[in-house]
Amino acid sequence: MLRKQFVIQAVGESVIPLLGFFWFNWDLYFIALFYLSDLLVTEVFYQLKLSRIAQFQKQSIPHLRRFQSAGFALAILGMSHVMLHMMYPELYFGKEFIAFLAYEEAGIPIPQGIILLPLVVLGNYQQYKLFFLVPQRFRAITWQVLLSSRRRALVLALAALILFSALLWKVMLPEILVLLAFVVGKFWIDLQRSFN
At residue 193 the predicted structure's pLDDT band, cuts being 50, 70 and 90, is low
| Per-residue pLDDT at 5 exceeds 80 | no
- Tell me the whole-structure pTM to 2 decimals: 0.86
Task: Using alpha carbons, list the distances in angstroms from residue 92 to 98, 136, 141.
Answer: 10, 44, 43
Task: Using alpha carbons, list the distances in angstroms from residue 7 to 3, 4, 150, 160, 195.
Answer: 6, 5, 17, 22, 11
Range of the domain at 26: 2-194
Task: Using alpha carbons, list the distances in angstroms from residue 105 to 30, 113, 114, 149, 167.
Answer: 13, 11, 12, 36, 34
The angle that helices 2-23 and 28-57 make with each other, rounded to 10 degrees, is: 160
Radius of gyration of the chain measured on its C-alpha atoms? 17
Amino acid symbol at 57: Q
Among 111-120, 151-160, 162-171, 185-194, the minimum mean pLDDT is found in 185-194
Structurally, how many domains does the chain consist of? 1
At residue 184 the predicted structure's pLDDT band, cuts being 50, 70 and 90, is confident
Higher pLDDT, residue 58 or 192: 58
Amino acid symbol at 140: A
For position 41, what pLDDT does the model report?
94
Average pLDDT for the chain: 86
At residue 188 the predicted structure's pLDDT band, cuts being 50, 70 and 90, is confident
Nearest of 132, 173, 157, 150 to residue 35 by alpha carbon: 157
Average of per-residue pLDDT across 13-24: 86
